[in-house]
Amino acid sequence: MTGFVLRRLGESLLAVWGVVTIVFFVTRILGDPAALLLPIGATEADIQALRAQLGLDQPMILQYGQFLLNAVQGDFGTSFQHGRDAMQVVLERLPATAQLAFTSIFLGLIIGAIAGSIAALKRGKAIELVVMAVALLGQATPVFWLGIMLILFFAVNLGWLPTGGYGTWAHLVLPAFTLAVFVSASIARLLRSSMLDILKEDYIRTAKAKGLLRHTVFFWHVARNALIPVVTMTAILTGELLGGSVVTETVFSWPGIGRLIIQAIEAKDFPVIQAGITLIATIFVLINFLVDLLYGVLDPRIRANR
């Protein structure tokens, strides 16, 4: 088990390093931010002086080396736009992103688990067709369109909820539900498929033949084993949402990390872009690392193979 943890930890660090390296070089393709930071009419001498001040006049390999050295210490530089520590600017947006992501995942898991279980247990009946049709529609519906429709109906026409912003539970309802629709649809379809496969297994027939109660077979044997792919899907979705759902945050003016990074890209704010992507990559890798450990709890066979 110790060897597995160390191996996965090494792979996780390598993945973060790879993402950080790619982001560093890709941001340089965006162009020179010095011209944007200076007022219109600035001379070439002014631009060159600012580039030297920002360290952008050095060879790329030296910039990369200095960036890695500072990044290991948690220093991603000063934001060109905000004039403050870049990572601090990103971390200020993390609570809003985390609130939206975890609320959406929570709602999506509850709705998806119920819908997927019903569809699997009622296979071949009309209710299964209805549930799967709704789930397919939920996955196929564009997030931006659904968000706009919810705003028009609940905020503009009925006036029950605000059109956007951040601060109270009322501001959270529409964006969280918008994301939860896609999450629940994905979970429902995956859980149904997983449960149907498990219901065909020999040990399920054995459990029924032994006279175990129906709910015991369902919760202890079927649901527990069906959770493994669902856990994987949930981890991926959580990582994506914590990375910032750019479209939803833009539609609802939600001050999350995704929206911040888009604004930083438009302004060529290299430090914020690098800090934001590094934080997202670290969170995503950490979640997947914890999921690998959780597999051993859900399925002892996986733990034994380690």
Type of residue at 238:
T
Q: Is 49 contained in some domain?
A: no
- Over the Cα atoms of the chain, what is R_g? 24
Q: For residue range 29-48, what is the model confidence (pLDDT) as tens digits?
A: 766 666 666 666 667 777 77
Inside any domain, residue 22: no
What whole-number distance in Å separates Cα of residue 257 and Cα of residue 255? 7
Domain harbouring 97, CATH code:
1.10.3720.10
The number of helices, as runs of H, and strands, as runs of E, in the chain is 15, 0
- At 73-85, the pLDDT tens digits run 888 888 878 888 8
pLDDT tens-digit readout, 178-234: 999 988 998 888 888 887 777 776 666 676 666 666 666 666 566 667 777 787 788
Q: What kind and span of H or E run contains 279?
A: helix 270-298
Structural domain contains residue 86 = no
Whether residue 88 lies inside any domain: the answer is no
pLDDT in tens, 249-267: 888 888 888 888 888 888 8
Task: Report the share of the chain in percent with pLDDT over 90.
Answer: 8
Q: Is residue 249 part of a domain?
A: yes
The count of other CB atoms within 10 Å of the CB of residue 157 is: 9
Domain range holding 139? 93-270
Assigned domain for 264 exists: yes
DSSP state of 223: I
Please measure the distance between the N-terminal and C-terminal CA atoms of the chain and give it in whole angstroms.
Answer: 6
Q: Quick one: which of 122, 144, 168, 159 has its CA closest to 252?
A: 144
pLDDT digits (tens, 9 = 90+) for 147-170: 899 999 998 888 888 888 887 888
**Residue that is written with structure tokens 């990572």 in the block:** 87
Q: Rounded to whole angstroms, how far apart are CA atoms 224 and 11?
A: 28
Q: Are 177 and 150 in contact (CB under 8 A)?
A: yes
279 lies in a domain? no
CA distance 279 to 22: 14
The rounded mean pLDDT for the chain is 80
Of 172, 193, 66, the C-alpha closest to 123 is 193
Count of domains forming the chain: 1
Q: Read off the DSSP letter of residue 218.
A: I
pTM of the predicted structure, to 2 decimals = 0.76
Amino acid symbol at 153: F
- Res. 303: pLDDT tops 60: no
Task: Give a yes or no: residue 244 inside a domain.
Answer: yes
- In this prediction, residue 298 has a pLDDT band, given cuts at 50, 70 and 90, of low
Instruction: Identify the weakest region by mean pLDDT among 57-66, 249-258, 297-306.
Output: 297-306
Q: What is the pLDDT of residue 149?
A: 92
Asked if 171 and 162 touch (Cβ cutoff 8 Å), the reply is yes
Residues 6+ apart with CB under 8 A from 93: 255, 256, 257, 259, 260
253-291 b/e (C-beta count within 10 Å ≥ 16 → b)? ebbbbbbbbbebeebbbbbbbbbbbbbbbbbbbebbbeb
